Structure 1
């Protein structure tokens, strides 16, 4: 008869199998967020440049990435990129799945961060742009010193929300065998013969972490609204 063995849910299981995967999931989230914001900001500036040779490729890239499921991009990159690519990175051949996941997430998330940053830049009034020009600022100086700092502040809650979604999506690297947090739970479930409890615990951990972070972002959003 089916029943849950709650004794499986112990710190020993977490420390022995899950923490290693959690560290990679966290590392992947941080690296993909930073890389995605940097590349996404560049893509947003290209789309807002008004120059066709910049706007067109950036638009194709963003719309293309946003039209394909992330798990498909993960599989494509992992299966189609030559092994020689990983040899460029010291020890890369031994961590093919992890490196593939990092590159894929940065490339994919950049498309979403690009749209967030584009909206943030467009939310800044044209008067501030004109004021910067009146002070003799170049386009690059105006963006770096006036527009982007305000856009980042306005978009902080949305950027953090997208980061939470990114953390949830890290579980998809399970498809290429990377040892993320979900893989840790799965491995423990297989070894102890309790897959039901393993996946139940994984769901609880993901829920608690993401719900808590979402609550914190909501509080931050309210504080930023008050400051404005």
Structure 2
């Protein structure tokens, strides 16, 4: 095995054609991951709170809406956004927007159920105590429920974010030059050493995912310590 192909193309693996072309490679994978993680967290929190506060037909409709995005494959949603929107609305949909949109919707749908489960795990007495203090529903959710439920939700958030990082590799099907795409380009160009190339790509994905998990766990420990100190 020879890893000269890695050193010869290292910059291309990391940033793609940038600065002489669009950003790509591992840098674009990181950018897609940060954007989708942030948007999916916002959507998941919003939909999860809505699930906890709605009842009856509204709750059922929201479950069906979220269930739709949980049920369809990521690659199918990417194709729908990329090919169907231009036909329906006569607009040009950039590839990066397509991937961020698709992954954020699916990630948000999964996280919404994690948020709902975290909120539902708290005893009803927390709500009753807030109402006894004269707080409104939004105030109870913000000041009492969510601070206690967030540590319960965090493992699910981390798992979903790691899954989103790996799912960014599906962007190659619409020509977005993320890490997997540039790796395939290099492999096709040199026509040798595919094992070395994709071992290196796997290592990069591992480093990105492990770093995210380490950072999230560190934040969780600090948050937990802060909550314990506030509770004293």
Question: Structure 1 residues 177, 68: closer, same or farther in 2, change over 3 A?
Answer: same
Write the mapping of 1:170-185 to structure 2, written as runs, cut at 5 A.
170-185=168-183
Superposition deviation, residue 145 in structure 1:
1.6
> Normalized against structure 1, the TM-score is what?
0.83
| Counterpart check, 1:193 vs 2:191 | yes
Q: Bigger shift: 213-222 or 167-176? A: 213-222
Question: Structure 1 residues 210, 33: closer, same or farther in 2, change over 3 A?
Answer: closer
Aligned to 1:42: 46
Q: Give the secondary structure class of the aligned counterpart of 1:137.
A: coil
> Normalized against structure 2, the TM-score is what?
0.81
Question: Structure 1 residues 86, 168: closer, same or farther in 2, change over 3 A?
Answer: farther
Question: Structure 1 residues 129, 172: closer, same or farther in 2, change over 3 A?
Answer: same
Q: Distance in 2 between matches of 1:214 and 1:46?
A: 27
Superposition deviation, residue 61 in structure 1:
1.5
CA contact (8 A) 1:97 1:178 kept: yes
Aligned to 1:14: 10
Aligned to 1:63: 67
Question: Structure 1 residues 78, 148: closer, same or farther in 2, change over 3 A?
Answer: same
Runs of 5+ consecutive residues of structure 2 not aligned to the other structure: 16-23
CA contact (8 A) 2:151 2:224 kept: no
CA contact (8 A) 1:40 1:113 kept: yes
Q: What are the superposed Cα offsets for residues 105-141 of structure 1, whole Å, 9 maximum, x if unpaired? A: 1111111110111111112222211111111111111
CA contact (8 A) 1:18 1:185 kept: no
> What number of residue pairs does the alignment pair up?
218
Superposition deviation, residue 96 in structure 1:
1.4
Q: Distance in 2 between matches of 1:208 and 1:35?
A: 22
Write the mapping of 1:4-153 to structure 2, written as runs, cut at 5 A.
4-10=1-7, 12-19=8-15, 20-82=24-86, 87=91, 93=92, 96-153=94-151
Aligned to 1:90: none
Q: Distance in 2 between matches of 1:219 and 1:37?
A: 18
Q: Distance in 1 between matches of 2:90 and 2:197?
A: 32
Superposition deviation, residue 98 in structure 1:
0.9
